[in-house]
Structure 1
Amino acid sequence: MSEKRVIITGASGLLGRAVLSAFKCSQWTVMGTSFSRTGEDLVPIDICNHEETKKLVKNFMPNCIVHCAAQRFPDKVEKDLDGTIRLNVEATKNLAVLAAEFGATMVYISTDYVFDGTKPPYSETDITNPLNTYGKTKLQGEQVTLEASQDHIVLRVPVLYGPVEYLGESAVTVLLQLFFDSEENKLVSDSEIRYPSHVDDIASLCVNLLELKQKNGEVKGIFHWGGKESMTKYGMVQHIASVFQLPMNHISPDPYPSQGASRPHNAQLSNEKLEKLGVGKHTSFREGIQSTLALWIQRKKLEQI
């Protein structure tokens, strides 16, 4: 049986789609799973169902699992804590234990929100202190992953963007909607500092990390990867306006912390550990946002004709 067999959970989501594509292009035997947004090349499954998930893992016999499925919107987490715990913690533990049982390595996608944002940049050994429930559930997911096997991998990433099925799929791409609603004045957060990362960069990293793992068993534990450009949401809006020559006279910076669930002020992740391993890439924000939003800009212009 091939030694390059991988299951990707949440393969219909923003990151999962990119990860699925990257492994397929790298000659892996791939199974993508999904729950609510199924596609013809995806296996529908509720990973919160232990027996159903065990049967899937046993039949496919992966040597790697990339766990992308999660409730990742902090404000939605606050409204559905029970559902979030089932997905972000209980399903994660289930997968991590099954992976260890069948001799597979699991990569658990985590977040920079496990830090409080007071002492950046953060290395993998820095003390965690999540400010919101989302960050707390993701940290619990990290803990159950590594408790299941010290050979598993936790990959912490920042806010992600890339090709989206709807603008609200990413906290970055949703900002384009501000330009479409130009009749009202808008305030956009200019407080919290973010390091947006393109999903293709993270997907490529997952492939490289697992291929490195197959050669070197010491590749395990926690890793960080984040974008290399710092910007607030308002800064992202300025970049979008510049790239697409869009007017933003109706958009003003809001210097106060974002409303809703608490966010860390600056949870910059240090990439040093992965860079020393020779893996990881960074797509510039201007390049990434241009390719991500060009089609949406074109659609809007056609609507106005």
Structure 2
Amino acid sequence: MALDRRSSVVVRNVAKVGAFLIYISSDYVFDGRNPPYREDAVPNPLNHYGKTKLEGEKVVLQNNEDAAVLRVPVLYGDVEKLEESAVTILFDKVQFSNKSANMDHLQQRFPTYVKDVATVCLQLTEKKLQNPSLKGIFHWSGNEQMTKYEIACAMADAFNLPSSHLRPITDEPVGETPRPRNPQLNCSKLEQLGIGQRTPFRVGIRESLWPFLVDKQWRQTVFH
């Protein structure tokens, strides 16, 4: 959601009280044609979501010069419903192996654990206290490159579930919202500051999805 005029006032008020603002943005501000993307790469969003995130970045930085923008890719973590994340929503197709499921095997993604993003925000804030000049745009991302098909297979592997019913599809999506093919983020700016945490995908996804494991027998196999 873009920041409107009222939100601009809020951003300015945050600056007045001296609070450090971190605006969470997205890798979708890039078109995915020339990865990996550094913070100074020219954005070129392909869809409405990417455009509104880029607009939000501009409003934040224009109204609070000491703020930070943190761009992250597709996120996953603890959810109340699987459909809350573009990653966790795939778990239903993974579990029900009696029905074949077509999975995109073209667009590249870097699933990132929300707990790692929270740690990065904390570390960035601590660095800001040490160095008040720290500001601007930063990137953070998981480092495991996967398509939706590979994400689903990794979920199956994490829970010792079958994956033969998952079918990789490499055709260009037709009639769907345009998405960047590979919006990989270069995270070296934060890494050079000593900031960062990456949880292996299979570890993070097990922590996030075990409450949604339907088959109790599988639950016992995985966790006992």
- TM-score, structure 1 normalization: 0.68
Amino acid at match of 1:208: Q
Instruction: Measure, in 1, the Cα distance between the counterparts of 2:96 and 2:156.
Output: 14
Match of residue 159 from structure 1? 74
In structure 1, the residue matched to 2:22 is 107
Q: Is 1:213 the equivalent of 2:213?
A: no
Cα offsets for 1:11-62 (capped at 9, x unmatched): xxxxxxxxxxxxxxxxxxxxxxxxxxxxxxxxxxxxxxxxxxxxxxxxxxxx
Gaps of 5+ in 1: 1-83
Which residue does 2:221 correspond to in 1?
A: none
Asked if 1:260 is matched to 2:176, the reply is: yes
* Aligned with 1:240 (options 147, 155, 160): 155
Cα displacement (A) at 1:101: 2.7
What is the alpha-carbon root mean square deviation over aligned residues? 1.7
Displacement of 1:143 in angstroms is 0.1
Query: How far, CA to CA, are the matches of 1:241 and 1:92 in structure 2?
Result: 42
Q: Give the structure, 1 or 2, with the largest relative contact order (CA under 8 Å, sep 6 or more).
A: 2
SS at match of 2:3: helix
The answer to whether residue 187 in structure 2 is matched with residue 271 in structure 1 is yes
Alpha-carbon contact 2:94-2:152 (below 8 Å) kept: no
Q: Distance in 1 between matches of 2:172 and 2:180?
A: 9
Q: In structure 2, how many angstroms separate the alpha carbons of the residues matched to 1:233 and 1:294?
A: 19
Distance 1:263 1:218, change over 3 A: same
Q: Contact (CA 8 Å) 1:205, 1:281: kept in 2 or not?
A: yes
Matched, 1:295 2:202: no
Please state if 1:136 is matched with 2:51.
yes
Helix, strand or coil at the partner of 2:102: strand
Matched, 1:203 2:115: no
SS in 1 for 2:210: helix
Tell me the residue number matched to 1:126: 41
Shift of 1:92: 4.3
1:303 deviates by 9.9
1-structure distance, mates of 2:121, 2:7: 17
Q: 1:257 to 1:219 in 2, by over 3 A?
A: farther
SS at match of 2:46: coil
Determine the C-alpha separation between the residues in 2 that align with 1:288 and 1:149.
34
Contact between 1:153 and 1:222, CA under 8 Å: does it hold in 2? yes
Q: What letter matches 2:106 in structure 1?
A: S
The percent of aligned pairs where both chains have the same amino acid is 44
Taking the aligned partners of 1:278 and 1:260, their CA distance within structure 2 comes to 39
Post-superposition shift, 1:184? 3.0
SS of the residue corresponding to residue 105 of structure 1 reads: coil
Q: CA deviation at 1:202?
A: 0.3
Determine whether 1:182 maps to 2:182.
no
- Corresponding residue pairs, total: 216
Q: In the alignment, which residue of structure 1 is the partner of 2:222?
A: none
Using the alignment, how far apart are the partners of 1:235 and 1:92 within structure 2?
Answer: 39
CA distance in structure 1 between the partners assigned to 2:144 and 2:20 by the alignment:
31
Give the secondary-structure state (helix, strand or coil) at the position aligned to 2:184. coil
